[in-house]
Structure 1
Amino acid sequence: MSDTDIVFQPTVDDLVHAYRLNLWRRYNWKYLLKAFAITSIAYVVLLFGGFRVASGAFPDWRNVWWMAGIAAVVTIGVPLLNHLLLRRAARKIYSQQKTLQQPHTVIWRSDHFVVESPTSHEEFRFADLVHWSEDSYVILLCQSAVMFRLIPKRVLAASQVDLLHRTLLQNGVRKI
């Protein structure tokens, strides 16, 4: 095997780490702030509009603060709930998707990478990737906001990680 070839079998933990990394890359501060603003505006409009129509008067300001509090809880609660339920979902996906339980070979060259398993063979150009992300457990090669290929760092030597980083950067794939 060369520095550009790796063989691994994904585990449930690899899948959990990949999904968590993908989830938290999507739920960044910009997203949370935007979601809070939209939810707050929707609640305030519904409160003012509904209260005004029903009673003919404007609501008390403490009701507006309650609505802002509910919006904050919803904005923070939804990503947190997703994070907490992710391990269960990953276990279910891993048990249902039999290709995840097979050994995978990932080979990367200067302009593309190949993912092989006993039942599939796929080639991807680095230029077709939207971005890539990593944490201490996995490297995600993202084909879209929700579709990605994972490479567990547990199977990579430090030199392979550096080589993969250089290859991705040379091909203009941005890191997020």
Structure 2
Amino acid sequence: MSDTEVVFQITADDLVHAYRLHLWRRYNPKYLLKSFAIGTIAYVVLLVGGVRVASGHFPEWRYVWMAAGIAAVVAIGVPILNHLILPRAGRKIYDQQKTLHQVYTVIFQSDRFIVETPTSRDEIQYADLVHWSEDRQMILLYQSSVMFRVVPTRVLNDGQVAFLHQVLLQNGVRKV
């Protein structure tokens, strides 16, 4: 297998899109359902327990259902709010972190990829990756559950994308 090399510069829009992709991969339906169930149960238990302790009797059922509704709105609203706030936060991070403005050279090899900038050089084994994710605009290579490397698909041709998919699969990196 031959190496493949790409040279690119990340834009503020690339960074915002990478954060959005990361956010929506993190807020998958299983996670949202679990957090909704736990949050609703905890909220209702605290409400019922608090009313019971404060007044000496259990609240009416309509208050319990209202509490469950509030918990549902919060559980659904937090990811949506994060999605709406993300562009501003991503652009602010892009403006503050000057290393994001550098030109990146990424060399994909059969067992590792190398990321070079004018100020740094990292060799990362595919086996050290936790997982990877992609959509039409971005490929994220995760070194942990929150730290990832960004590769915009606009800089890759079809052969390079196929090569990257093949080496990730061969090295046992799971796709999420």
Residue 168 of structure 1: CA displacement? 0.5
Identity of aligned residues (%): 71
Contact 2:111 2:171 in 1 (8 A): yes
Instruction: For 1:113 and 1:16, locate their aligned partners in 2 and report how far apart those are by CA, in whole Å.
Output: 23
Q: Identify unmatched segments of 5+ residues in structure 1.
A: none
Q: How does 1:85-164 map to 2 (within 5 A)?
A: 85-164=85-164
Residue 44 of structure 1: CA displacement? 1.1
* Residue of structure 2 in register with 1:84 after alignment: 84
Instruction: For 1:3 and 1:168, locate their aligned partners in 2 and report how far apart those are by CA, in whole Å.
Output: 14
Instruction: For 1:83 and 1:106, locate their aligned partners in 2 and report how far apart those are by CA, in whole Å.
Output: 29
Residue 84 of structure 1: CA displacement? 0.5
> Residue by residue, what CA displacement relative to the aligned partner does 1:105-155 show, whole Å, maximum 9, x if unpaired?
000111000000001100100000000000011000001111000100011
Contact 1:6 1:107 in 2 (8 A): yes
* Residue of structure 2 in register with 1:169 after alignment: 169
Are residues 1:57 and 2:61 paired?
no
Q: The residue matched to 1:58 in structure 2 has which SS?
A: coil
What residue identity is the alignment partner of 2:166?
A: R
Instruction: For 2:54 and 2:170, locate their aligned partners in 1 and report how far apart those are by CA, in whole Å.
Output: 62
What residue identity is the alignment partner of 2:28?
A: N
Q: Identify unmatched segments of 5+ residues in structure 2.
A: none
> Residue by residue, what CA displacement relative to the aligned partner does 1:54-109 show, whole Å, maximum 9, x if unpaired?
11111111111111111111111111111101100110100111110010000011
Are residues 1:15 and 2:15 paired?
yes
* Residue of structure 1 in register with 2:27 after alignment: 27
In the superposition, the TM-score normalised over structure 2's length comes to 0.97
Greater shift in the superposed pair: 40-49 or 131-140: 40-49
In the superposition, the TM-score normalised over structure 1's length comes to 0.97
Greater shift in the superposed pair: 55-64 or 125-134: 55-64
Contact 1:133 1:139 in 2 (8 A): yes
Q: Between Structure 1 and Structure 2, how many residues are aligned? A: 175
Instruction: For 1:69 and 1:29, locate their aligned partners in 2 and report how far apart those are by CA, in whole Å.
Output: 19
Instruction: For 1:54 and 1:150, locate their aligned partners in 2 and report how far apart those are by CA, in whole Å.
Output: 52
Residue 3 of structure 1: CA displacement? 6.2
What residue identity is the alignment partner of 2:60?
A: D
Instruction: For 2:130 and 2:3, locate their aligned partners in 1 and report how far apart those are by CA, in whole Å.
Output: 24
Q: The residue matched to 1:151 in structure 2 has which SS?
A: strand
Instruction: For 2:90 and 2:3, locate their aligned partners in 1 and report how far apart those are by CA, in whole Å.
Output: 30
Over the aligned positions, Cα root-mean-square deviation in angstroms equals 1.0
What residue identity is the alignment partner of 2:143?
A: Q
